[in-house]
């Protein structure tokens, strides 16, 4: 960083953003991007969404395990996933990067390349941020989103109803498998290695899938960042309901099943950071949503049910319908926790 | 932190926000606050503003020098000032707090007390955020604002015109004096000590004053975070103009003049973090704005002029109209730099 100074860095970032494609509603509405005291755009009718998330070196990632390009991608992806989990479209991103003095400018360029590649796919405009010094790399990204139009509907944690089916998109546990592979230096075939690494370091937010859920009438949802059990318990608490999970139904990631044997099922149950959608709705709504998503190549699996019980616990059932306690107790993605946005 | 766990902390914060007063348009429009994947509100017609800023321990502050309550206040204040610098009204705040494992929960409560006290004054709703671990205290706050209504006008760095007068609100250098007092353990009379400390650690963002500037027809402005010369040079670069400052006209903070002698003028010229407004407009517009602001007890001082020159440099003139170079070369608030929001 010290080579070019911080103003130099800002110019580099502004130049990268300026050189990129500027397609879509966010760019069309933009009045002031990077280079003033705040970003400014013509507001969109409907509901505005906002979220912020932090990735801290040696807490959420290790520089030896993630490339700068992947770090840029993932920092934005986790926030896009939060907007998706509300049923919204991401529009604008602000990026606060805190870096050690000796950070190489080329690494920052790679970071932004990764982030801007993902941003372009969802027509998200990176419109500002700041760069400061810090003892460890700390990335904070805030994303603003929209439900588009005045009739905008939301996916809320608090909207589950008793009898709702509990369903998930895609497959689970890949990110946990990727973490374990990288931390323990495990060696698998090329395809598995790539799939597990991608699942953990380059998650693809389910923005379009969430929009389809909303149009099909789904009202309750969350993204799986803490793990299936943990995130379902967030829905339970917010909706004041219980839930059951039929653990034999959980869609375990193929690369996980192939390489982690009997541990795979537990990892799919408790592993976090898959950024799949977890949603609840009456059976016929889930069916309609599943048909629509499967038409786009995204699987949907019913894994359980919302229940009217005294407490808000998640009950795990084995293939015989018997309650059981899993071997692992939950996902510790080194200590981060969200509170609401 | 480890005493109550991170979910416990989130509950503490949510409880503090819930217990506070919820008055004003931001709260009225709010649909989902703390406790879901993202905050959601009914969007406001007009222009939407967004900014993010970081305060990193031992880079922007030292825990021995700032109280937790002041840290909470200042983390929000610097962002409100950025919204003010665009002529907007702050509406919503997202708070990302990264803390060492051994942080005392009572300190986090004090942090939020400081922040919520300021938020209430401007009817800003704290609607989400996250808490993670980190080796040092790192605060990131993102603030969303509005220009209120479809005819909303902005203060932009790029809107200065040749011949515009350059003016500042309030007085300068108090924050630099406060920093020096605290860092060097200087002892002054009670009143000066309080004023200097407050200027540095508890800045009051000029939100209402900026709105008045806009209604009086001012179009170009910035807040003074890096220092008068540095921030005026941002306006120069964005507007592709030069500027002169008549240094003898600079309104030096009283507590600075009283205690720092001949150094005071240089500190007012180059010291940052005063969070006063620096704006440019034709003389009659500045006059009308000054009259309106002075009616509210906020002084306005013309300190220079925008000029049509070959480069975008800021030229300093002494009391005889002679160019000179100041003793200090600029404010180093330990290395932070903004890029646009």
Per-block mean pLDDT, blocks of 10 residues, chain A (341 long): 69 92 96 95 96 96 96 98 98 97 94 98 95 96 90 92 98 97 96 98 98 96 97 96 97 96 94 97 98 97 94 92 72 41 39
The pLDDT of residue A129: 85
Among A224, A138, A6, smallest CA distance to B136 is for A138
Report chain A residues whose CB lies below 8 A from the CB of B33. 340
Q: Is B16 on the interface with A (CB under 8 A)?
A: no
* Rounded Cα gap, residues B214 and B211, in angstroms: 5
Q: Searching chain A, which residue's CA lies closest to the CA of residue B52?
A: A129
Residue A146, strand partner residues? A48, A89
- List beta partners, residue A242: A307
The alpha carbon of residue A323 is apart from the nearest alpha carbon of chain B, in Å, by 26
- The per-residue b/e assignment along B18-50, b for 16 or more CB within 10 angstroms, e otherwise, is eebeeeebbbebbbbbbbbbbbbbebbbbbbbb
Residues of chain B with pLDDT under 50: 329, 331-341
pLDDT in tens, A308-335: 987 888 999 999 999 988 665 454 443 4
The pLDDT of residue A148? 84
Closest approach of chain A CAs to the CA of B29, in angstroms? 9
CA distance A98 to A133: 5
As given in the structure block, the two tokens for residue A301 are 């699996």
Q: Taking chain B, what is the end-to-end CA distance rounded to the nearest angstrom? A: 31
Q: Using alpha carbons only, what angle is made at residue A116 by residues A110 and A117, rounded to the nearest 5 degrees?
A: 90
Tell me which chain A residues have a C-beta less than 8 angstroms from the C-beta of B336.
6, 130-133
E strands in chain A: 30-32, 39-42, 47-56, 89-99, 125-133, 138-146, 165-169, 220-223, 242-246, 277-281, 300-307, 314-317, 337-338
Q: pTM to 2 decimals?
A: 0.94
Distances (CA, A) of A112 to A15, B10, B141: 11, 31, 21
The residue with tokens 């205290």 is B137
Instruction: Report the alpha-carbon distance of residue B201 to residue B67 in Å, rounded.
Output: 9
Contact B169, B218 (CB under 8 A): no
CA-closest candidate to residue B41, choices B92, B115, B79, B96: B92
- Cα–Cα distances (Å) from A307 to A300, A315, A329, in that order, read 20, 10, 22
Q: Which residues of A fall within a CB distance of 8 Å from B157? A: 35-37
C-alpha A289: how far from chain center: 20
Q: Is A263 exposed, middle or buried (0-12, 13-18, 19+ CB in 10 A)?
A: middle
- Measured in angstroms, the CA of B57 and the nearest CA of chain A are apart by 8
Give the residue from B119, B125, B43 showing the smallest Cα distance to A49: B43
> In sequence order, which residues have a C-beta less than 8 Å from that of residue A201 and are 6 or more positions away?
A65, A66, A67, A70, A73, A74, A178
């Amino acid at each position: 960083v010290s080579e070019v100074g911080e103003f130099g860095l800002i110019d580099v970032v502004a130049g990268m953003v300026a050189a990129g494609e500027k397609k879509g509603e966010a760019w069309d509405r933009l009045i002031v991007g990077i280079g003033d005291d705040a970003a400014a755009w013509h507001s969109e009718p409907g509901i505005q969404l906002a979220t912020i998330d932090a990735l801290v070196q040696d807490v959420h990632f290790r520089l030896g395990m993630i490339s700068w390009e992947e770090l840029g991608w993932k920092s934005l992806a986790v926030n896009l996933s939060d907007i998706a989990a509300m049923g919204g479209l991401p529009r604008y991103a602000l990026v606060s990067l805190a870096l050690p003095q000796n950070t190489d400018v080329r690494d920052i360029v790679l970071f932004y390349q990764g982030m801007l590649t993902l941003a372009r796919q969802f027509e998200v405009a990176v419109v500002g941020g700041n760069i400061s010094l810090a003892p460890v790399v700390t990335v904070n990204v805030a994303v603003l989103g929209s439900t588009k139009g005045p009739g905008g509907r939301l996916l809320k944690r608090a909207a589950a109803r008793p009898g709702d089916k509990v369903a998930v998109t895609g497959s689970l546990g890949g990110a946990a498998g990727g973490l374990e592979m990288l931390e323990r230096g495990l060696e698998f075939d090329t395809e598995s290695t790539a799939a597990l690494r991608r699942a953990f370091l380059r998650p693809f937010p389910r923005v379009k899938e969430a929009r389809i859920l909303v149009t099909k009438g789904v009202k309750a949802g969350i993204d799986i960042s803490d793990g299936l059990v943990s995130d379902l318990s967030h829905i339970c608490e917010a909706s004041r309901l219980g839930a059951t999970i039929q653990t034999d139904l959980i869609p375990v990631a193929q690369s996980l099943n192939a390489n982690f044997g009997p541990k795979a099922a537990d990892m799919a149950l408790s592993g976090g950071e898959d950024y799949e959608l977890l949603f609840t709705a009456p059976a016929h709504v889930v069916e309609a949503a599943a048909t629509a998503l499967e038409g786009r190549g995204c699987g949907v699996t019913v894994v359980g049910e919302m229940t009217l019980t005294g407490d808000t616990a998640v009950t795990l059932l084995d293939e015989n319908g018997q309650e059981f306690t899993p071997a692992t107790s939950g996902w510790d993605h080194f200590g981060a926790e969200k509170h609401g946005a």
